[in-house]
Structure 1
Amino acid sequence: MPPTGPKQSPKDTYITVYGRKPVLEALADPALSVDKVIAAEDLSRSALGPILSAARERGVPVRRATAHRVKVLAGNGRHDQGVLADVVAPRMRLVTDFLAALPAQAPCALLVLDAVTNPANVGMVLRSATAAGVDGVLLPRRGVPAIDPLVIKASAGVAFRAPVLRSSTAAEGCAALRAAGVRVLGLDARPGGSALFRDPLPERAALVLGNETDGLSPDVRAELDGTVAIPMRGGVESLNVASAAAVAAYELMRLRRP
């Protein structure tokens, strides 16, 4: 049995959008389920008017909090504009919950982000992974940007329905995967590993993508079962992490075809 972790927190259930326009867009999208809106107490009703009207039409509760509390909840004091909304992410769950529901020996195809810091890269990874049909993208709470408006924009809105798996750190998530019998392989251009397209991948596999500059972190390297490289030609040393994720995701899913 995989190890059990902490109970799911609101950060593992909702995607928080902040700023008046993103909140209004979330309320206007019938495909999204908005749990609540939180507005700063010092925000005038005239400034909040369109949001209040849209929330009333959707039956979404609007709560008031101090401006400081809104900044803390949004995690971005510069751009929150005193308002945020918690949007339900139906496919987001703890990695331990995903593993507990995974039948023994059932195949799975996963991506893991290890200290990927650019929100645009995170959004594009979520978009390509969801399009490819992977079972999950592990986004740790620490070391990777939160799913915010920048990530959502880069994903073209796919982030709301992406199969996101959560853990405290990437290393902790990798350890849980290995304990459940998932082979954890780091994408790495260093010699000595396997080659994507040439060497077969296991049926239960998680491919880890490292930081844009430094690659895989030491803590995550300690949890790997091996490494795999994307073949490069023309003197190219590496791909952008979002491009590498797209290649890896589609190769994982190609191998599932009968």
Structure 2
Amino acid sequence: MSSDIWKNARSGPSGERERSASTRAKELRLHGLNAVLAMFTATPERLRKLYLSESRLTDLKDVLKWCVQHRVGYRVVEDGDLSKLAQTSHHEGVVADVLPPQERTLEAWLAEVGGVESVCAIWLDGVGNPHNLGAIMRNAAHFGASAMLIEATAVNPISGASARVAEGGAERISVVRLPSDAKRAMPLLRDAGFGLVATLVRDGADVYKTDLPAKLIYVMGAEQQGMHKGLAQACDVQVSIPGTGEVESLNVASATAVFLAEWYRRRN
């Protein structure tokens, strides 16, 4: 790699002052090597600023070359500065300011998958913990789910913390914003050939013995409150994961992995 890649690269986090607060407010701060590399591989044009430790120069050499070619700023900083930027010590030697991924409307997403025979997506009803969201995105990428459907008022599930936990999965799944009245989404989904399957802690049909549609929406409830009862009843099927009963339930990310694995097994 050419030595001019590193010219003027060393500095503290004072480079933050080079861009206005209003500009930074529109950006997403990613951290974690796989999260940053997955973003760069999928949509490099979203990158706005890169901070890295000296130990990551080799791992990120292609990203740095791209930064030089496209006049995107980068700085080599100490681990302590990266911890301040990421607000966590789990930064893995790299922090990136990027434009957030573009959300899709339900209608736009349905148009994208209209000709696909087998599609799975996850409807999140109040799920908000970033570590659970990250694990859900990682599970979704692993098992080939297409999208995460979120409520009209929900915060975008992709954050620095969730993207790091997702280990690149955040770049493999679409975020679809539902209409303000979520029940309006159900006839649109059914008209597009989807079946809606509510996932319950208990009292649902055994997921391993229940027919699952090829075009499937799993509706997942929040960590503490569970799924809204009216939403569960409005779905076509209610299913649960059988177990020993020695614990109350799986957490939402673990349960999502089980449900997605069963859909994937049948598809293949």
Alignment TM class, shorter chain as reference: 0.5 to 0.7
Residues 115 and 210 of structure 1 are in contact (CA less than 8 Å); yes or no, is this contact kept in structure 2? yes
Residues 187 and 229 of structure 1 are in contact (CA less than 8 Å); yes or no, is this contact kept in structure 2? yes
SS at match of 2:46: strand
Residues 114 and 144 of structure 1 are in contact (CA less than 8 Å); yes or no, is this contact kept in structure 2? no
* Compared CA separation, residues 135 and 171, structure 1 to 2 (3 A): same
Q: Structure 1: state its 5+ residue gaps.
A: 1-14, 39-52, 63-77
SS at match of 1:228: strand
SS at match of 1:150: helix
SS at match of 2:198: strand
TM-score if structure 2 supplies the norm length? 0.64
Of residues 182-191 and 221-230 in structure 1, the stretch that sits farther from structure 2 once superposed is 221-230
The AA in structure 2 aligned to 1:86 is: L
Equivalent residue, structure 2, for 1:69? none
SS at match of 1:121: helix
* Compared CA separation, residues 198 and 27, structure 1 to 2 (3 A): closer
Q: Does 1:86 align with 2:99?
A: yes
SS at match of 1:37: strand
Q: CA deviation at 1:140?
A: 3.6
Q: Does 1:245 align with 2:256?
A: yes
SS at match of 1:255: helix
Of 186, 190, 199, which aligns to 2:202?
Answer: 190
Residues 141 and 168 of structure 1 are in contact (CA less than 8 Å); yes or no, is this contact kept in structure 2? yes
TM-score if structure 1 supplies the norm length? 0.66
* Compared CA separation, residues 105 and 156, structure 1 to 2 (3 A): closer
In structure 1, what is the Cα distance between the partners aligned to 2:118 and 2:241? 22
Residues 134 and 163 of structure 2 are in contact (CA less than 8 Å); yes or no, is this contact kept in structure 1? yes
Of 130, 135, 138, which aligns to 1:127?
Answer: 138
In structure 2, what is the Cα distance between the partners aligned to 1:201 and 1:54? 47
In structure 2, what is the Cα distance between the partners aligned to 1:238 and 1:186? 15
Matches within 5 A, 1:20-99: 26=36, 30-31=40-41, 32-35=43-46, 37=48, 57-59=68-70, 84-86=97-99, 93-99=104-110
* Compared CA separation, residues 213 and 60, structure 1 to 2 (3 A): farther
Q: Which has the larger radius of gyration?
A: 2
SS at match of 1:254: helix
In structure 1, what is the Cα distance between the partners aligned to 2:163 and 2:136? 11
Misfit runs of 4+, over 4 Å? 25-30, 53-56, 168-175
Q: CA deviation at 1:132?
A: 0.8
Residues 118 and 145 of structure 1 are in contact (CA less than 8 Å); yes or no, is this contact kept in structure 2? no
Residues 145 and 173 of structure 2 are in contact (CA less than 8 Å); yes or no, is this contact kept in structure 1? no
The number of equivalent residue pairs is 208
Residues 131 and 162 of structure 2 are in contact (CA less than 8 Å); yes or no, is this contact kept in structure 1? yes
Q: Does 1:210 align with 2:221?
A: yes
* Compared CA separation, residues 163 and 235, structure 1 to 2 (3 A): same
* Compared CA separation, residues 58 and 146, structure 1 to 2 (3 A): farther
Q: Structure 2: state its 5+ residue gaps.
A: 1-25, 50-63, 74-85, 88-95
Equivalent residue, structure 1, for 2:267? 256
C-alpha RMSD of matched pairs (Å):
3.6
Equivalent residue, structure 2, for 1:50? none
Q: Greater share of helix residues, 1 or 2? A: 2
In structure 2, what is the Cα distance between the partners aligned to 1:105 and 1:54? 38
Q: CA deviation at 1:172?
A: 5.1
In structure 1, what is the Cα distance between the partners aligned to 2:231 and 2:72? 41
The AA in structure 1 aligned to 2:244 is: R
* Compared CA separation, residues 146 and 29, structure 1 to 2 (3 A): closer
Q: CA deviation at 1:58?
A: 4.5
* Compared CA separation, residues 174 and 37, structure 1 to 2 (3 A): farther
